[in-house]
């Protein structure tokens, strides 16, 4: 019996990818790990206490004075490029589970306004532009717009006030979003319904990269209660992702934290949570259960700290995660067990904006029973992590839509 556990520290990058500055030139300086470590040493008057991440090889992948440069654990350590456009949690997790995102593009709504208008009109909706801008008003109530809370062109939203129309039903917000999803080339179309402080059009503003959209936090949606959200992802063959591959082989799957919200697998046990303590507790519970298992857990609060541009909170959360990883290491001690610690993108809280940063992410693999410490070559895609996890579960990685198992690089000195 063996278990493979993937812990995704959301927004934990280890340095800018070469194309990180294409959208914002300043993002070429992004380095979530380094900048959080540096800031917290000054703010706390001490280094962050990350002994387990150090022992898993983080300092080998990302040298820093506050990280151990040697370890006696049987680990393989490297880093991965994202393998999908932009820097997005949904796309990151789908890619990591083996999805092929080669047909997903980064695009402003303005670039596809004609075909979106045609699709909505054909579906029987009344469509107009708001003040001639590349933002649509559907049936006088729902705004279809660029998402301003992610990088430009990653996601589009269909937003409406629940006082004006229902979320569900043939004429609701979700129906509009589904029509947009049918023609959208982007990773996600997000249906959002809530109770606003006033007309939504009062909170439309420009975003980065020529986008325009609804300033959702300013509307009052998040504080007025009753918020309803549905993420409509790009068409993917979920049968060729790691959770479904595991289920078909009779291996139980547990999805924890935000992974429970965004990964598809009907047979999976879901443990949604936001608080890091809850995510770690659910993960430990899943590992303690008898038998084989695939556990995928997302630590979301690090990403939230990045969005809040709060490096001190980010650092305290890393220490909390490190303590939780110690418990996982103690449980995952059999030769067939694997603990894989990684990220889905960067979110540098010191970069000067509240958006994700396009960074490499660490790939830290604990391999009980293996000999020595090995350095892995850079993975071309997060999908390679899923393929590697498939091998650890004795599954055929060819069953995934994308990804190549990571091969050993060289032994660490």
| pLDDT tens per residue, range 9-30 | 999 999 999 999 988 899 999 9
Task: Identify the three-state secondary structure at position 53.
Answer: helix
pLDDT tens by residue, 87-129: 989 899 999 999 988 778 889 999 999 999 999 999 999 999 9
Contact 88, 101 (CB under 8 A): no
Confidence band (pLDDT; 50, 70, 90) for 409?
A: low
CA 228 from centre of chain: 20
> How far apart are alpha carbons 303 and 314 in whole angstroms?
8
pTM of the entire predicted model = 0.85
Give the C-alpha distances (Å, rounded to integers) separating 78 from 42, 63, 70, 85, 394: 28, 12, 14, 21, 22
pLDDT of residue 408: 62
Helix (H) or strand (E) holding 137: strand 136-138
pLDDT of residue 410: 59
pLDDT of residue 411: 61
Task: Identify the three-state secondary structure at position 78.
Answer: strand
């Amino acid at each position: 019996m063996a278990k493979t556990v993937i812990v995704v520290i959301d927004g934990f990058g280890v340095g800018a990818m070469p194309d990180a500055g294409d959208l914002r030139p300043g993002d070429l300086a992004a380095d979530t790990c380094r900048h959080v470590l540096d800031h917290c040493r000054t703010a706390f008057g001490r280094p962050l206490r990350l002994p387990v991440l150090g022992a898993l090889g983080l300092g080998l992948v990302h040298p820093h004075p506050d990280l151990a440069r040697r370890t006696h654990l049987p680990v393989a350590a490297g880093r991965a490029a994202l393998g999908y456009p932009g820097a997005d949690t949904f796309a990151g997790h789908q890619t990591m589970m083996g999805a092929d995102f080669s047909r997903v593009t980064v695009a402003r709504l303005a670039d596809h306004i004609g075909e979106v208008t045609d699709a909505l009109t054909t579906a029987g909706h009344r469509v107009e532009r708001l003040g001639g801008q590349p933002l649509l008003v559907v049936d006088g109530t729902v705004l279809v717009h660029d998402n301003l809370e992610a990088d430009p062109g990653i996601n589009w939203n269909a937003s409406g006030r629940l006082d004006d129309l229902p979320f569900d039903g043939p004429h609701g917000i979700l129906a509009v979003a589904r029509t947009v999803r049918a023609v959208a080339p982007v990773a996600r179309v997000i249906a959002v319904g809530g109770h606003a402080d006033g007309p939504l059009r009062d909170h439309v503003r420009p975003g980065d990269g020529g986008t325009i959209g609804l300033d959702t936090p300013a509307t009052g949606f998040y504080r007025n209660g009753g918020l309803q959200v549905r993420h409509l992802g790009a068409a993917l063959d979920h049968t060729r992702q790691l959770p479904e591959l595991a289920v078909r082989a009779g291996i139980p799957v547990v999805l924890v934290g935000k992974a429970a919200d965004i990964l598809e697998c009907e047979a999976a046990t879901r443990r949604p949570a936001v608080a890091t303590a809850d995510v770690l507790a659910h993960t430990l519970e899943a590992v303690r259960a008898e038998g084989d298992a695939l556990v995928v857990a997302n630590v979301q609060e690090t990403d939230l700290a990045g969005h809040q541009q709060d490096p001190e909170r980010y650092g305290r959360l890393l220490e909390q995660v490190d303590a939780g990883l110690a418990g996982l290491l103690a449980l995952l001690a059999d030769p067939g067990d694997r603990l894989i610690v990684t990220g889905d993108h960067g979110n540098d809280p010191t970069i000067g904006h509240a958006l994700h940063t396009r960074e490499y992410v660490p790939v830290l693999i604990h391999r009980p029973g293996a000999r020595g410490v090995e350095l892995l070559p850079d993975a071309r895609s997060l999908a390679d992590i899923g393929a590697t996890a498939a091998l650890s579960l004795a599954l055929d990685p060819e069953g995934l839509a994308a990804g190549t198992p990571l091969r050993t690089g060289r032994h660490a000195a």
